[in-house]
Protein backbone atom coordinates (compact mmCIF):
# COMPACT_ATOMS: atom_id res chain seq x y z
CA UNK A 1 0.00 0.00 0.00
CA UNK A 2 1.43 3.35 -1.03
CA UNK A 3 2.16 5.64 1.91
CA UNK A 4 -0.03 8.75 1.82
CA UNK A 5 2.93 11.16 2.07
CA UNK A 6 5.27 9.17 -0.15
CA UNK A 7 5.43 11.95 -2.74
CA UNK A 8 5.91 14.80 -0.29
CA UNK A 9 9.07 16.78 -0.91
CA UNK A 10 10.37 17.85 2.46
CA UNK A 11 11.21 21.45 1.60
CA UNK A 12 9.82 24.03 4.01
CA UNK A 13 7.16 25.41 1.67
CA UNK A 14 5.80 21.93 0.86
CA UNK A 15 5.73 21.05 4.54
CA UNK A 16 3.84 24.22 5.37
CA UNK A 17 1.28 23.48 2.66
CA UNK A 18 0.96 19.91 3.87
CA UNK A 19 0.42 20.99 7.44
CA UNK A 20 -2.09 23.64 6.36
CA UNK A 21 -4.07 20.87 4.67
CA UNK A 22 -4.50 19.14 8.03
CA UNK A 23 -1.69 16.57 7.99
CA UNK A 24 -0.17 16.12 11.45
CA UNK A 25 3.52 16.27 12.37
CA UNK A 26 3.19 12.68 13.61
CA UNK A 27 2.19 11.57 10.13
CA UNK A 28 5.20 13.36 8.67
CA UNK A 29 7.41 11.65 11.24
CA UNK A 30 6.00 8.29 10.26
CA UNK A 31 6.87 9.07 6.66
CA UNK A 32 10.39 10.15 7.65
CA UNK A 33 11.01 6.91 9.53
CA UNK A 34 9.58 4.90 6.67
CA UNK A 35 11.94 6.61 4.25
CA UNK A 36 14.95 6.08 6.48
CA UNK A 37 14.17 2.39 6.61
CA UNK A 38 13.31 2.17 2.93
CA UNK A 39 16.46 3.89 1.71
CA UNK A 40 18.48 0.97 2.98
CA UNK A 41 21.64 2.90 3.72
CA UNK A 42 22.90 2.07 7.22
CA UNK A 43 25.71 4.59 6.86
CA UNK A 44 23.62 7.76 6.98
CA UNK A 45 22.53 7.77 10.61
CA UNK A 46 24.64 6.71 13.55
CA UNK A 47 21.67 6.91 15.89
CA UNK A 48 17.99 7.75 15.67
CA UNK A 49 15.84 9.37 18.30
CA UNK A 50 13.42 7.06 20.04
CA UNK A 51 10.28 7.14 17.88
CA UNK A 52 7.74 7.20 20.70
CA UNK A 53 9.45 10.15 22.32
CA UNK A 54 9.50 11.98 19.00
CA UNK A 55 5.81 11.26 18.44
CA UNK A 56 5.04 12.69 21.87
CA UNK A 57 7.05 15.77 21.00
CA UNK A 58 5.21 16.05 17.69
CA UNK A 59 1.82 15.76 19.46
CA UNK A 60 2.93 18.45 21.90
CA UNK A 61 3.27 20.85 18.96
CA UNK A 62 -0.54 20.87 18.74
CA UNK A 63 -2.58 20.00 15.73
CA UNK A 64 -1.98 23.17 13.78
CA UNK A 65 1.00 25.36 13.07
CA UNK A 66 1.46 28.16 15.54
CA UNK A 67 3.46 30.08 12.98
CA UNK A 68 6.91 29.21 14.26
CA UNK A 69 9.26 29.06 11.28
CA UNK A 70 10.16 25.37 11.66
CA UNK A 71 6.92 24.07 13.14
CA UNK A 72 6.89 20.31 12.65
CA UNK A 73 9.98 20.28 10.45
CA UNK A 74 12.04 17.08 10.80
CA UNK A 75 15.79 17.51 10.67
CA UNK A 76 19.00 15.55 11.18
CA UNK A 77 22.04 16.52 13.20
CA UNK A 78 25.65 15.71 12.50
CA UNK A 79 26.96 13.47 15.24
CA UNK A 80 29.46 15.96 16.60
CA UNK A 81 26.62 18.25 17.75
CA UNK A 82 24.82 17.49 21.00
CA UNK A 83 21.16 16.48 21.01
CA UNK A 84 19.93 15.93 24.56
CA UNK A 85 19.40 12.26 25.34
CA UNK A 86 21.28 10.97 22.30
CA UNK A 87 24.88 9.89 22.12
CA UNK A 88 27.45 12.15 20.54
CA UNK A 89 30.01 9.86 18.93
CA UNK A 90 31.97 12.03 16.47
CA UNK A 91 32.12 8.68 14.60
CA UNK A 92 34.39 7.34 17.30
CA UNK A 93 32.57 4.83 19.51
CA UNK A 94 35.28 5.00 22.15
CA UNK A 95 34.74 8.74 22.48
CA UNK A 96 30.95 8.61 22.71
CA UNK A 97 28.98 10.25 25.50
CA UNK A 98 25.28 10.77 26.06
CA UNK A 99 24.51 14.47 25.73
CA UNK A 100 22.72 15.99 28.70
CA UNK A 101 21.71 19.14 26.83
CA UNK A 102 21.03 20.26 23.32
CA UNK A 103 23.71 22.30 21.62
CA UNK A 104 22.58 25.95 21.45
CA UNK A 105 21.97 25.60 17.70
CA UNK A 106 19.77 22.53 18.21
CA UNK A 107 17.90 24.14 21.11
CA UNK A 108 17.09 27.12 18.90
CA UNK A 109 15.80 24.86 16.11
CA UNK A 110 13.62 23.01 18.57
CA UNK A 111 12.39 26.34 19.94
CA UNK A 112 11.45 27.24 16.37
CA UNK A 113 9.36 24.07 16.16
CA UNK A 114 11.83 21.67 14.57
CA UNK A 115 12.07 17.95 15.37
CA UNK A 116 15.52 16.33 15.57
CA UNK A 117 15.16 12.79 14.26
CA UNK A 118 18.71 11.48 14.48
CA UNK A 119 22.43 11.86 14.42
CA UNK A 120 24.37 11.49 11.18
CA UNK A 121 27.67 9.97 10.19
CA UNK A 122 30.80 11.98 9.60
CA UNK A 123 34.50 11.77 8.97
CA UNK A 124 35.68 11.02 12.47
CA UNK A 125 36.11 14.15 14.59
CA UNK A 126 35.06 16.17 11.56
CA UNK A 127 38.54 15.68 10.17
CA UNK A 128 38.26 14.95 6.47
CA UNK A 129 36.36 15.99 3.36
CA UNK A 130 35.65 12.54 1.94
CA UNK A 131 33.21 10.75 4.26
CA UNK A 132 35.22 7.53 4.34
CA UNK A 133 37.02 8.04 7.65
CA UNK A 134 34.44 6.37 9.83
CA UNK A 135 34.19 3.01 11.58
CA UNK A 136 30.50 2.91 10.61
CA UNK A 137 29.32 2.03 7.11
CA UNK A 138 30.08 4.86 4.69
CA UNK A 139 26.96 6.74 3.54
CA UNK A 140 26.39 6.18 -0.16
CA UNK A 141 26.71 9.23 -2.38
CA UNK A 142 23.15 10.17 -3.34
CA UNK A 143 23.99 10.99 -6.94
CA UNK A 144 26.34 8.13 -7.81
CA UNK A 145 27.18 5.42 -5.28
CA UNK A 146 30.67 4.96 -6.75
CA UNK A 147 31.60 8.46 -5.62
CA UNK A 148 32.58 9.39 -2.10
CA UNK A 149 29.72 11.09 -0.28
CA UNK A 150 32.03 13.91 0.77
CA UNK A 151 32.69 14.92 4.30
CA UNK A 152 33.09 15.51 6.95
CA UNK A 153 29.28 16.01 7.16
CA UNK A 154 28.62 12.95 4.98
CA UNK A 155 25.44 11.60 6.58
CA UNK A 156 23.77 14.99 6.86
CA UNK A 157 24.30 15.79 3.19
CA UNK A 158 23.10 12.40 1.98
CA UNK A 159 20.06 12.48 4.29
CA UNK A 160 18.92 15.76 2.72
CA UNK A 161 19.78 14.73 -0.83
CA UNK A 162 17.72 11.57 -0.43
CA UNK A 163 14.75 13.46 0.97
CA UNK A 164 14.83 11.81 4.39
CA UNK A 165 14.63 15.07 6.31
CA UNK A 166 13.89 18.68 5.48
CA UNK A 167 17.34 19.87 6.39
CA UNK A 168 20.36 18.75 8.34
CA UNK A 169 23.01 20.37 10.44
CA UNK A 170 26.64 19.94 9.59
CA UNK A 171 29.75 21.63 10.80
CA UNK A 172 32.34 23.41 8.70
CA UNK A 173 35.92 24.09 9.68
CA UNK A 174 37.61 23.62 6.34
CA UNK A 175 34.84 22.71 3.91
CA UNK A 176 32.83 20.02 5.72
CA UNK A 177 29.61 21.90 5.12
CA UNK A 178 30.29 22.55 1.43
CA UNK A 179 32.11 19.61 -0.17
CA UNK A 180 29.38 17.05 0.69
CA UNK A 181 26.69 19.51 -0.42
CA UNK A 182 28.45 19.77 -3.77
CA UNK A 183 28.86 16.02 -4.11
CA UNK A 184 25.16 15.40 -3.44
CA UNK A 185 23.52 18.17 -5.50
CA UNK A 186 22.22 20.16 -2.59
CA UNK A 187 22.80 23.49 -0.88
CA UNK A 188 25.39 23.92 1.88
CA UNK A 189 25.44 27.14 3.86
CA UNK A 190 28.61 27.95 5.82
CA UNK A 191 27.62 31.04 7.76
CA UNK A 192 29.76 33.85 9.05
CA UNK A 193 32.03 32.64 11.84
CA UNK A 194 30.33 33.10 15.20
CA UNK A 195 26.89 33.88 13.77
CA UNK A 196 25.58 30.53 15.05
CA UNK A 197 26.84 29.62 18.53
CA UNK A 198 29.00 26.49 18.65
CA UNK A 199 28.35 25.72 22.31
CA UNK A 200 27.50 22.01 22.43
CA UNK A 201 29.53 21.18 19.32
CA UNK A 202 32.63 19.02 19.76
CA UNK A 203 35.39 21.32 18.55
CA UNK A 204 37.62 20.60 15.57
CA UNK A 205 39.44 23.95 15.34
CA UNK A 206 37.60 25.97 17.95
CA UNK A 207 38.56 29.37 16.57
CA UNK A 208 37.12 28.66 13.11
CA UNK A 209 34.39 26.02 13.58
CA UNK A 210 30.91 26.81 12.27
CA UNK A 211 27.58 25.02 12.41
CA UNK A 212 26.41 24.67 8.79
CA UNK A 213 23.12 23.89 7.08
CA UNK A 214 22.29 21.39 4.32
CA UNK A 215 18.98 21.95 2.51
CA UNK A 216 17.33 21.49 -0.87
CA UNK A 217 17.16 25.21 -1.55
CA UNK A 218 18.96 28.37 -0.53
CA UNK A 219 15.69 29.77 0.77
CA UNK A 220 15.34 26.86 3.17
CA UNK A 221 18.97 26.93 4.23
CA UNK A 222 18.78 30.63 4.95
CA UNK A 223 15.57 30.23 6.98
CA UNK A 224 17.21 27.55 9.10
CA UNK A 225 20.34 29.67 9.48
CA UNK A 226 18.20 32.61 10.60
CA UNK A 227 16.49 30.46 13.21
CA UNK A 228 19.85 29.52 14.73
CA UNK A 229 21.77 32.77 14.39
CA UNK A 230 22.18 35.21 17.23
CA UNK A 231 24.56 36.19 19.97
CA UNK A 232 25.06 33.81 22.87
CA UNK A 233 26.83 35.19 25.93
CA UNK A 234 27.86 31.72 27.11
CA UNK A 235 29.79 31.01 23.88
CA UNK A 236 33.03 33.01 23.77
CA UNK A 237 33.25 32.63 20.00
CA UNK A 238 29.71 33.85 19.35
CA UNK A 239 29.52 37.23 17.65
CA UNK A 240 26.70 39.75 17.44
CA UNK A 241 25.98 39.40 13.74
CA UNK A 242 22.48 40.22 12.62
CA UNK A 243 20.93 38.08 9.85
CA UNK A 244 19.52 40.35 7.20
CA UNK A 245 16.27 39.39 5.46
CA UNK A 246 16.78 38.41 1.83
CA UNK A 247 15.97 40.98 -0.83
CA UNK A 248 16.24 40.85 -4.61
CA UNK A 249 19.67 40.13 -6.13
CA UNK A 250 21.71 43.22 -6.91
CA UNK A 251 21.36 44.41 -10.52
CA UNK A 252 25.15 44.49 -10.92
CA UNK A 253 27.91 42.97 -8.87
CA UNK A 254 31.58 42.06 -9.12
CA UNK A 255 32.60 38.44 -8.75
CA UNK A 256 36.18 37.35 -8.12
CA UNK A 257 37.14 34.17 -9.95
CA UNK A 258 40.50 32.40 -10.15
CA UNK A 259 42.72 33.34 -13.07
CA UNK A 260 42.84 30.44 -15.54
CA UNK A 261 46.27 29.44 -14.30
CA UNK A 262 45.05 29.27 -10.69
CA UNK A 263 42.00 27.16 -11.52
CA UNK A 264 42.34 23.51 -10.87
CA UNK A 265 40.01 20.69 -11.86
CA UNK A 266 42.28 17.72 -11.26
CA UNK A 267 42.43 17.19 -15.02
CA UNK A 268 38.67 16.79 -15.40
CA UNK A 269 37.43 18.71 -18.47
CA UNK A 270 33.77 18.12 -17.58
CA UNK A 271 34.30 19.83 -14.22
CA UNK A 272 35.95 22.74 -15.96
CA UNK A 273 33.18 23.03 -18.55
CA UNK A 274 30.48 22.99 -15.88
CA UNK A 275 32.24 25.76 -13.95
CA UNK A 276 32.58 27.87 -17.06
CA UNK A 277 28.91 27.38 -17.85
CA UNK A 278 28.06 28.69 -14.40
CA UNK A 279 30.32 31.68 -14.96
CA UNK A 280 28.23 32.47 -18.03
CA UNK A 281 25.13 32.35 -15.80
CA UNK A 282 26.79 34.77 -13.41
CA UNK A 283 27.40 37.20 -16.23
CA UNK A 284 23.82 36.82 -17.46
CA UNK A 285 22.71 37.68 -13.94
CA UNK A 286 24.63 40.97 -13.95
CA UNK A 287 27.87 39.75 -12.46
CA UNK A 288 31.13 41.19 -13.73
CA UNK A 289 33.93 38.62 -13.53
CA UNK A 290 37.19 39.85 -12.00
CA UNK A 291 40.06 37.42 -12.35
CA UNK A 292 42.14 37.10 -9.19
CA UNK A 293 45.35 35.23 -8.54
CA UNK A 294 44.23 32.51 -6.14
CA UNK A 295 47.69 31.34 -5.11
CA UNK A 296 47.62 33.52 -1.98
CA UNK A 297 44.27 31.98 -0.99
CA UNK A 298 45.68 28.49 -1.43
CA UNK A 299 48.69 29.50 0.69
CA UNK A 300 46.32 30.33 3.57
CA UNK A 301 45.00 26.79 3.37
CA UNK A 302 48.50 25.47 3.93
CA UNK A 303 48.36 26.76 7.50
CA UNK A 304 45.42 24.50 8.28
CA UNK A 305 46.92 21.05 8.02
CA UNK A 306 50.61 21.61 7.23
CA UNK A 307 50.82 24.44 9.73
CA UNK A 308 50.15 24.79 13.43
CA UNK A 309 46.36 25.07 13.23
CA UNK A 310 46.14 21.29 13.33
CA UNK A 311 47.10 21.75 16.97
CA UNK A 312 43.58 23.04 17.59
CA UNK A 313 42.36 19.55 16.71
CA UNK A 314 44.92 18.05 19.03
CA UNK A 315 43.97 20.36 21.88
CA UNK A 316 40.28 19.50 21.45
CA UNK A 317 41.06 15.79 21.88
CA UNK A 318 44.21 15.93 23.99
CA UNK A 319 43.02 13.75 26.83
CA UNK A 320 41.38 11.20 24.53
CA UNK A 321 44.21 10.97 22.03
CA UNK A 322 46.80 10.61 24.79
CA UNK A 323 44.90 7.91 26.67
CA UNK A 324 43.11 6.02 23.88
CA UNK A 325 45.09 6.54 20.69
CA UNK A 326 44.06 3.16 19.30
CA UNK A 327 40.39 4.12 19.35
CA UNK A 328 41.05 6.67 16.61
CA UNK A 329 40.85 6.02 12.87
CA UNK A 330 44.42 5.57 11.64
CA UNK A 331 44.25 8.34 9.02
CA UNK A 332 42.62 10.74 11.46
CA UNK A 333 45.18 9.92 14.11
CA UNK A 334 48.04 10.43 11.70
CA UNK A 335 46.73 13.88 10.84
CA UNK A 336 45.96 15.04 14.36
CA UNK A 337 49.17 13.69 15.88
CA UNK A 338 50.99 15.80 13.30
CA UNK A 339 50.32 18.63 15.74
CA UNK A 340 52.94 17.27 18.08
CA UNK A 341 55.75 18.71 16.03
CA UNK A 342 54.69 22.31 16.75
CA UNK A 343 55.58 24.24 19.88
CA UNK A 344 53.59 27.11 21.35
CA UNK A 345 55.77 29.73 19.70
CA UNK A 346 55.03 28.20 16.32
CA UNK A 347 51.31 28.33 17.05
CA UNK A 348 51.62 32.07 17.54
CA UNK A 349 53.84 32.19 14.46
CA UNK A 350 50.96 30.65 12.52
CA UNK A 351 48.62 33.33 13.82
CA UNK A 352 51.04 36.02 12.68
CA UNK A 353 51.30 34.46 9.23
CA UNK A 354 47.55 34.25 9.00
CA UNK A 355 47.16 37.88 10.06
CA UNK A 356 49.62 38.94 7.36
CA UNK A 357 47.87 36.83 4.72
CA UNK A 358 44.45 38.19 5.68
CA UNK A 359 45.75 41.72 5.48
CA UNK A 360 47.29 41.12 2.07
CA UNK A 361 44.13 39.46 0.77
CA UNK A 362 41.94 42.31 1.98
CA UNK A 363 43.06 44.12 -1.17
CA UNK A 364 41.73 41.66 -3.79
CA UNK A 365 38.69 40.96 -1.62
CA UNK A 366 37.96 44.67 -1.50
CA UNK A 367 37.71 44.73 -5.29
CA UNK A 368 34.74 42.36 -5.49
CA UNK A 369 31.35 41.71 -3.90
CA UNK A 370 32.00 37.98 -3.64
CA UNK A 371 34.11 35.14 -4.98
CA UNK A 372 32.80 32.26 -7.07
CA UNK A 373 34.78 29.03 -7.15
CA UNK A 374 34.11 25.39 -7.93
CA UNK A 375 33.10 23.69 -4.69
CA UNK A 376 35.86 21.12 -5.34
CA UNK A 377 38.12 20.48 -8.35
CA UNK A 378 36.40 17.21 -9.39
CA UNK A 379 34.36 14.39 -7.90
CA UNK A 380 36.31 11.28 -6.91
CA UNK A 381 35.36 7.66 -6.41
CA UNK A 382 35.80 5.91 -3.10
CA UNK A 383 38.30 3.60 -4.78
CA UNK A 384 40.46 6.54 -5.83
CA UNK A 385 40.34 8.10 -2.39
CA UNK A 386 41.18 4.88 -0.59
CA UNK A 387 44.30 4.73 -2.71
CA UNK A 388 45.31 8.33 -1.89
CA UNK A 389 43.54 9.07 1.37
CA UNK A 390 45.39 12.26 2.25
CA UNK A 391 46.24 13.65 -1.17
CA UNK A 392 42.74 13.45 -2.62
CA UNK A 393 41.25 14.70 0.63
CA UNK A 394 43.42 17.79 0.20
CA UNK A 395 42.29 18.10 -3.41
CA UNK A 396 38.68 18.32 -2.23
CA UNK A 397 39.65 21.20 0.05
CA UNK A 398 41.31 23.30 -2.65
CA UNK A 399 38.54 25.90 -2.75
CA UNK A 400 37.22 25.51 0.79
CA UNK A 401 40.15 25.35 3.22
CA UNK A 402 41.01 29.05 3.22
CA UNK A 403 37.49 30.29 3.87
CA UNK A 404 37.20 29.78 7.64
CA UNK A 405 40.72 30.96 8.39
CA UNK A 406 40.00 34.13 6.42
CA UNK A 407 36.76 34.78 8.34
CA UNK A 408 34.61 34.56 5.22
CA UNK A 409 31.11 33.16 4.75
CA UNK A 410 30.23 30.76 1.94
CA UNK A 411 27.37 29.08 0.17
CA UNK A 412 27.66 25.94 -1.95
CA UNK A 413 24.96 25.42 -4.58
CA UNK A 414 24.58 23.01 -7.48
CA UNK A 415 25.81 24.84 -10.56
CA UNK A 416 25.45 23.99 -14.24
CA UNK A 417 25.37 20.22 -14.61
CA UNK A 418 28.06 18.15 -16.25
CA UNK A 419 27.18 16.15 -19.36
CA UNK A 420 27.94 12.93 -17.47
CA UNK A 421 25.50 13.75 -14.67
CA UNK A 422 28.15 13.75 -11.96
CA UNK A 423 27.72 16.50 -9.38
CA UNK A 424 29.25 19.88 -10.21
CA UNK A 425 28.78 22.47 -7.51
CA UNK A 426 29.94 26.03 -7.15
CA UNK A 427 30.56 28.05 -4.02
CA UNK A 428 30.01 31.74 -3.40
CA UNK A 429 32.26 33.33 -0.80
CA UNK A 430 32.11 36.76 0.82
CA UNK A 431 33.25 38.83 3.77
CA UNK A 432 31.95 38.06 7.25
CA UNK A 433 28.39 39.29 7.59
CA UNK A 434 27.58 39.13 3.88
CA UNK A 435 25.60 35.86 4.13
CA UNK A 436 22.49 37.49 2.66
CA UNK A 437 24.40 38.92 -0.29
CA UNK A 438 25.63 35.54 -1.49
CA UNK A 439 22.32 33.84 -0.69
CA UNK A 440 20.35 35.92 -3.19
CA UNK A 441 22.94 35.35 -5.90
CA UNK A 442 23.28 31.68 -5.03
CA UNK A 443 19.62 30.90 -5.35
CA UNK A 444 19.55 32.41 -8.85
CA UNK A 445 22.55 30.34 -9.89
CA UNK A 446 20.89 27.25 -8.45
CA UNK A 447 17.76 27.93 -10.50
CA UNK A 448 19.70 28.77 -13.68
CA UNK A 449 21.87 25.68 -13.34
CA UNK A 450 18.78 23.51 -13.48
CA UNK A 451 20.40 20.62 -11.64
CA UNK A 452 17.74 18.27 -10.22
CA UNK A 453 17.11 18.59 -6.48
CA UNK A 454 19.42 16.35 -4.52
CA UNK A 455 18.86 12.79 -5.73
CA UNK A 456 15.12 13.24 -5.92
CA UNK A 457 14.72 13.71 -9.66
CA UNK A 458 12.84 16.94 -9.05
CA UNK A 459 13.68 20.20 -10.81
CA UNK A 460 15.85 22.81 -9.12
CA UNK A 461 13.73 25.23 -7.12
CA UNK A 462 12.70 28.54 -8.65
CA UNK A 463 14.34 31.43 -6.82
CA UNK A 464 11.56 33.29 -5.03
CA UNK A 465 10.67 36.77 -6.25
CA UNK A 466 11.80 39.01 -3.43
CA UNK A 467 10.53 42.51 -2.76
CA UNK A 468 13.13 44.95 -1.60
CA UNK A 469 12.60 45.39 2.11
CA UNK A 470 14.57 47.40 4.60
CA UNK A 471 16.38 45.58 7.35
CA UNK A 472 14.66 46.00 10.73
CA UNK A 473 17.17 48.61 11.85
CA UNK A 474 17.25 50.58 8.63
CA UNK A 475 15.84 54.07 8.73
CA UNK A 476 15.86 56.72 6.10
CA UNK A 477 17.98 59.67 7.02
CA UNK A 478 18.28 63.16 5.68
CA UNK A 479 21.48 65.06 6.17
CA UNK A 480 20.90 68.62 7.30
CA UNK A 481 23.26 71.51 7.88
What residues are labeled active site?
78, 152, 176
Cα torsion 253, 259, 263, 268: sign: positive
Q: Counting contacts by CB under 8 A, is residue 300 touching its own copies?
A: no
Given its phi and psi angles, is residue 227 left (phi above 0), alpha (psi -120 to 50 degrees) or beta? alpha
Q: Which of 50, 293, 343, 420 binds its own copies (CB under 8 A)?
A: 343
Contacts of 151 (CB under 8 A, 6+ apart): 122, 123, 128, 129, 130, 131, 132, 133, 176, 179, 180
* Closest distance to its own copies from the beta carbon of 470 (Å): 10
Q: Counting contacts by CB under 8 A, is residue 441 touching its own copies?
A: no
CA 72 to chain CA mean position, Å? 22
Residue 284 CB neighbour total at 10 angstroms = 10
* Closest distance to its own copies from the beta carbon of 311 (Å): 3
Q: Hey, which residues between 344 and 373 contact its own copies (CB under 8 A)?
A: 344-352, 355-356, 358-359, 362-363
Q: Hey, which residues between 166 and 225 contact its own copies (CB under 8 A)?
A: 206-207
User: Angle at the Cα of 383 (from 379 to 384), degrees rounded to 5?
Assistant: 55
Q: Which of 1, 100, 467, 478 binds its own copies (CB under 8 A)?
A: 478
- Closest CB to its own copies among residues 293, 420: 293
Reduced to 3 states (helix: H, G, I; strand: E, B; else coil), residue 310 is helix
Q: C-alpha distances in angstroms, 257 versus 158, 203, 370, 391, 435?
A: 29, 31, 9, 24, 18
Q: Which of 42, 236, 325, 391 binds its own copies (CB under 8 A)?
A: 236
Query: What number of chain residues touch its own copies (CB under 8 A)?
Result: 39
CA 128 to chain CA mean position, Å? 14
- The per-residue b/e assignment along 52-91, b for 16 or more CB within 10 angstroms, e otherwise, is eebbebbeebeeebeeebbbbbbbbbbbbbbbeebbbbbb
Q: Which of 233, 267, 467, 468 binds its own copies (CB under 8 A)?
A: 233
Q: Which of 47, 237, 381, 407 binds its own copies (CB under 8 A)?
A: 237
HSE, side-chain direction, 13 A CA sphere, residue 443: 25
Stretch binding its own copies (CB under 8 A), from 111-119, 122-130, 246-254, 336-344: 336-344
Stretch binding its own copies (CB under 8 A), from 123-131, 312-320, 398-406, 443-451: 312-320
Q: How many whole angstroms separate alpha carbon 159 and alpha carbon 184?
A: 10
Q: Which of 253, 298, 320, 342 binds its own copies (CB under 8 A)?
A: 342
Q: Hey, which residues between 70 and 89 contact its own copies (CB under 8 A)?
A: none
Stretch binding its own copies (CB under 8 A), from 7-15, 72-80, 313-321, 399-407: 313-321
What is the binding site for its own copies (CB under 8 A)? Answer: 206-207, 233-237, 308, 311-312, 314-315, 318, 339-340, 342-352, 355-356, 358-359, 362-363, 475-481
Amino acid sequence: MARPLADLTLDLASLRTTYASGVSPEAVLDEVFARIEECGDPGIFISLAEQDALRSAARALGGKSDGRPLWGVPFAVKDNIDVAGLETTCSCPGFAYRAAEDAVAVARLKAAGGIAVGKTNLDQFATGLVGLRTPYPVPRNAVDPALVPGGSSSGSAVAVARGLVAFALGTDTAGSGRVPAGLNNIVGLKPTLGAIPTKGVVPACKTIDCVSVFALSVDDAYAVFSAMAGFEQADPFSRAFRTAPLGPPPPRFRVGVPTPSTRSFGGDPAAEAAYEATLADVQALGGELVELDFEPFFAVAGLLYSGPFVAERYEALRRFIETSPDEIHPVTRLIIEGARRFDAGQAFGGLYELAAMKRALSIPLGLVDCLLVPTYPRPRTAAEVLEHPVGLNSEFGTYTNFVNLMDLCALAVPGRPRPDGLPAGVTLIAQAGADARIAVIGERLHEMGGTPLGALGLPAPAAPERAPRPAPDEIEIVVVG
